[in-house]
Amino acid sequence: MKLAVTAPERLAVRTVPVPDPGDLISRLPHPTALAWIRHGEGIAGWGEAARIPVPGGADRFAAAAALLRELFAAADVDDPVDVPGTGPVAFGSFGFDPESPDSTLIVPRRILGRRDGTAWLTTIGDDAEPLTVPTPPHAPAGLRWQDGALPEDAWRQAVAAAVGRIRDGHLGKVVLARDLTARADAPIDARVLLRRLADRFPGCYAFSCDGLVGATPELLIRRTGDDIESLVLAGTTARGTDPADDRARAARLFNSPKDREEHRYAADMVRDALAPLCADLTVPDEPELLTLPNLTHLASPVHGRLTADRSVLDVVAALHPTPAVCGTPTDTAMDLIRELEGMDRGRYSGPVGWVDARGDGEWGIALRCAQIDGPSARLFAGCGIVADSDPDAELAEARTKFGPMQYALHG
- What are the residue numbers of the active site? 173, 218
Fill in the amino acid letter for 343.
M
Distance CA 239, CA 61 (A): 36
Quick count: other Cβ atoms within 10 Å of Cβ 8?
Answer: 13
Residue type (1 letter), 259: D
Question: Which helix (H) or strand (E) segment is 107 a member of?
Answer: strand 103-107
Give me the amino acid identity at 167.
Answer: R
Residue 152 burial (CB count, 10 A): 14
Please name the residues in contact with 244: beta carbons below 8 A apart, sequence gap of 6 or more.
none
Q: Are strands 76-78 and 12-17 parallel, antiparallel or unpaired?
A: parallel
d(CA 383, CA 175): 5
Beta bridge partners of 236: 297
Residue 355 in contact with residue 312, Cβ under 8 Å? yes
- β-sheet bridge partners, residue 77: 13
CB atoms under 10 Å from CB of 375, counted, come to: 17
Using alpha carbons, list the distances in angstroms from residue 128 to 75, 109, 287.
Answer: 19, 10, 49
